[in-house]
Amino acid sequence: MDIEQLAPDATATYTTFERPGTRSLGRAIKLMRVVASRPQFGWRLSDLAVACDLDRATVHRMLACMVEERLVAQRASDRHYLPGPLMHELGLALPDHAQFQRRAEVTLDAFARRMRGVAVLLLRSGNEYVCSVRQGQLPLTGSVLYPGSRRPLFTTAGGVAILQTLHARQAREILLDNVAQEVARCGTERLAALQRMRERSDHHGFGVNLGDVVPGVHAVASPVRGSDGEAFAALCLLGTPELYGEERLPQLRIELDAAATGLSLEARRLNL
């Protein structure tokens, strides 16, 4: 499936499905997801309006309500909007997820040390991923995989590893959404690079990015499966071309699959 060939369909025909009577709720959820995608830097009102495809007045009213309810905070120094404390408090209602997070932090720390790279856990969130854990001290210029960051699935080896587990129709629907997001945000310049990463990953049978998207950063990834057998996350290993060259891919896959299997067993123990 050629990503560049999907671009016209994605931009011309793809629209977010809205159930009857839920338009306001859908808009609010989308706004919350966008705000949460930049937890450190935050968002200006005008940028949020563009990202959510809504007018400024509507977004301003929604944000005012969310700030009052503490779902969103507004930083005094620059007036940027950030995730609020209520987002964290709501997450406390899922103790099993919190326990898995803690176990993953320990597992990824040991894995990153042993592999001398950076280990990252990405959680699937609909058509996107959210970075949950990042461990390892290797400096990597250009990597955007930090806890809380949210991007379309097809933009990283971890997301591609998840897409590889899906039926063709479901994967195509996600790709239509992802391509539309990419074109709206960055234009078509990166589509060829993203296509190369997908083709390389399909050739090797797991997520593989040999500097295709960010020059100088190599990444490999395997899916993490939950109690239902579906991939709800991906374990990624990031490093330099010297550490993770193409000749090391077979061994890297063995190491990745073993670590991902351990995380899958922990997820199933917690009924995730």
Same domain, residue pair 13 and 72: yes
**172 and 235 together in one domain:** yes
Q: What string of pLDDT tens digits covers the 272 residues of the chain?
A: 677 667 666 555 455 555 666 788 999 999 999 999 888 899 999 999 998 989 999 999 999 999 999 999 999 999 999 999 999 999 999 999 999 999 999 999 999 999 999 999 999 999 999 999 999 999 988 888 899 888 999 999 999 999 999 999 999 999 999 999 899 888 888 999 999 999 999 999 999 999 999 999 999 999 999 999 999 999 999 999 999 999 999 999 999 999 999 999 999 999 99
Residue indicated by tokens 């100088």: 216
Write the CA distances from 163 to 35, 128, 169, 230, integer angstroms: 25, 11, 11, 11
Q: End of a domain among 35, 58, 85?
A: 85
107 and 173 co-located in one domain: yes
| Per-residue tokens: 259 | 């670590």
Domain residues for the domain of 28 are 3-85
The CATH number of the domain where 36 resides is what? 1.10.10.10
Same domain for 136 and 250: yes
C-alpha to C-alpha distance for 197 and 203, rounded to whole angstroms: 10
138 and 80 belong to one structural domain: no
Q: Where are the alpha helices (DSSP H) in the chain?
A: 3-13, 23-36, 45-52, 56-68, 85-91, 95-115, 157-163, 168-186, 191-204, 249-269
Q: How many domains does the chain have?
A: 2
Sign of CA pseudo-dihedral 129, 113, 108, 82: negative
At 144, which CATH number?
3.30.450.40
Terminal CA-to-CA distance of the chain, rounded, Å? Answer: 31
Residues 135 and 166 in one domain: yes
8 Å CB contact between 218 and 239: yes
> What is the rounded CA–CA span in Å between residue 44 and residue 66?
15
And the tokens for 112? Answer: 């990153």
Are residues 173 and 61 part of one domain?
no
Give the Cα separation of 186 and 79 in Å (integer): 25
| 163 in the same domain as 32 | no
CA distance 260 to 125: 18
Residue 76 and residue 125 in one domain: no
Amino acid at 32: M
Give the model's pLDDT for residue 9. 61
Please indicate, yes or no, whether residues 58 and 182 belong to a single structural domain of this protein: no
Q: Where is the domain boundary, 60, 85, 110?
A: 85
147 & 242 share domain: yes
Residue where a domain stops, chosen among 65, 85, 105: 85
Same domain, yes or no, for 151 and 213?
A: yes
C-alpha distances in Å from residue 97, one per residue of 45, 92, 223, 226: 32, 9, 17, 12
